Structure 1
Amino acid sequence: MITSVKNERVKAWKKLHNRKERNNTKTFIIEGFHLLEEAWKSDWVIQEIIAEEAVELPNWCQDYEVERVSAPVFEQITQTQTPQGVAAVLEMKEATKRKGNYLLLIDSVQDPGNLGTMIRTADAAGMDGIVLGNGTVDIYNDKVLRSTQGSIFHIPIYHASLLDEVKDLQQNGFKIWATALLNAKKYNEIQIDGKVALILGNEGAGVRQELIDVADEIVTIPIYGKAESLNVSIAAGILMYYLKR
């Protein structure tokens, strides 16, 4: 059992809270029983499980390397306020092929909670995949992972230049919907005919103009009250469920 916070393994685990180190090692760290079980059920590669000395693990964990640590050590690697005493190091996995007829394209969303909620909602709505554009927060950020509630392990996600991706999608029969306020149609007045890729943009700036310019439809969600706007993850949920109705 590891009892020293100066142990090299502990230092390595702590470094995984840094995006640069995650990218260098192609690994990331998760916390909690729910995320761990969802990763296991979804056949993601679990390199090792880290557990406090007194924490009881599910039987299937016996198939993996388990490193026991003291409570003070676990406190050094946790990012949650009420840790459950279990974490794991996983290998990154990115989708390599695009499948299905309904995709969510995310343009420079920077809030971890928003991105995580969008991934979770896309999973719930039955979307076929998610494309992350440049400037979007890292999906392996701790807050993103927690906000997905395990959906990160269920839905294909990959990174791409969205402008290039849009052109490729259009050549493959997709209609591109971009969200904006100007020159936009109400989303529920547009007929869904075939494959659709939906673009949601940055919390403050929205979808970049170069993407709006090449979109097939510019869509908006009407606001009937006095709110100035909708949270981007809420807007994504409304539109994705409309597409999959």
Structure 2
Amino acid sequence: MITSVQNDKVKNWKKLHKRKERKKTGSFLIEGFHLVEEAKKSNWDINEIIVQEDIDVPNWCESYQVTEVGENVFQYLSETQTPQGIAAVVSFQNQPAKLGNHVLLIDAVQDPGNLGTIIRTADAAGFDTIILGDGTVDVYNDKVIRATQGSIFHVPIIQQNLLEQIPNLKENGFSIWATALTNAVPYHKVVKQEKIALLLGNEGAGIKEDILQLADTIVTIPIYGNAESLNVSVAAGILMYHVKG
């Protein structure tokens, strides 16, 4: 059992909280029973399971390398307020895009909670693929992963340049719906096409102009009260369920 935070293994796990180290090792850290079980059920490669002393873990954990650590070590590694005492190191998975009929495009969403919630909602709404453009928060950020509630393991999530990918989607018959406030049509008044790629932008600045120009349709969600705008994850949910309906 590891009881010192100065242990080399512990130091390497701790480094996985930084994007640079995740890219270098091709792996990331997840925490909590639900996320570890979702990674296993979705057949992602679990390199190692980290368990706090005196925590009971499911029998299937015996199929993996399990390292027991002291409570002080787990507290040191944990990013949550009330740790459950189980974590895992998981390898990146190169998921091929499944274009299907509904794709979500994300341009520079930077709040981890927003991105995680969008991914969870896209999974619930049955979207086929999520493409993250430049400037978007790292999908393997701890807060993003927690907000997805395991959906990160269910939907192909790809990081690509949107200026390059949108023309490819158009060639594959997709209509690009972008969200913006100017020159926009209320979303429920637009005729739905069979294949729609929904494009959402940064929380403050919106979609970058050069990317917005590639859209076929600019849609907006009517505001009936006094709020200036909707949170991007709420807007994403409304529009995703609309195009799927």
TM-score (norm 1): 0.99
Q: Which residue of 2 aligns with 1:243?
A: 243
Instruction: Give yes or no for contact 2:106–2:133 (8 Å, CA) kept in 1.
Output: yes
In the alignment, structure 1 residue 104 sits paired with structure 2 residue 104: yes
Q: Which residue of 1 aligns with 2:37?
A: 37
Q: Which residue of 2 aligns with 1:157?
A: 157
Deviation for aligned residue 1:76: 1.1
In the alignment, structure 1 residue 125 sits paired with structure 2 residue 136: no
In the alignment, structure 1 residue 13 sits paired with structure 2 residue 36: no
Deviation for aligned residue 1:214: 1.4
1:156-177 residue CA offsets vs partner (Å, 9 max, x unmatched): 1101110111000001100000
Deviation for aligned residue 1:23: 0.3
> Could you list the runs of 5+ residues in structure 1 that have no partner in the other structure?
none
Q: Secondary structure at the match of 1:199?
A: strand
> Which is worse superposed, 151-160 or 208-217?
208-217
Instruction: Give the Cα–Cα distance (whole angstroms) in 1 for the partners of residues 78 and 103 of structure 2.
Output: 33
In the alignment, structure 1 residue 69 sits paired with structure 2 residue 69: yes
Q: Secondary structure at the match of 2:177?
A: strand
Deviation for aligned residue 1:90: 0.1
> Which is worse superposed, 203-212 or 112-121?
203-212
Q: Secondary structure at the match of 1:34?
A: helix
TM-score (norm 2): 0.99
Q: Secondary structure at the match of 1:214?
A: coil
Instruction: Give yes or no for contact 2:200–2:207 (8 Å, CA) kept in 1.
Output: yes
Deviation for aligned residue 1:24: 0.1
Instruction: Give the Cα–Cα distance (whole angstroms) in 2 for the partners of residues 8 and 78 of structure 1.
Output: 17
Instruction: Give yes or no for contact 1:178–1:211 (8 Å, CA) kept in 2.
Output: no
Deviation for aligned residue 1:192: 0.9
Instruction: Give the Cα–Cα distance (whole angstroms) in 2 for the partners of residues 104 and 203 of structure 1.
Output: 16
Instruction: Give yes or no for contact 1:116–1:148 (8 Å, CA) kept in 2.
Output: yes
- Report the aligned-residue RMSD: 0.7
* Over 4 Å off, 4+ runs: none
Q: Which residue of 1 aligns with 2:211?
A: 211
Percent of matched pairs sharing the same residue: 61
Give the total of aligned pairs.
245
Q: Which residue of 2 aligns with 1:85?
A: 85
> Could you list the runs of 5+ residues in structure 2 that have no partner in the other structure?
none
Q: Which residue of 2 aligns with 1:59?
A: 59
Q: Which letter does structure 1 place at the counterpart of 2:189?
A: E
Instruction: Give the Cα–Cα distance (whole angstroms) in 2 for the partners of residues 232 and 222 of structure 1.
Output: 14
In the alignment, structure 1 residue 191 sits paired with structure 2 residue 191: yes
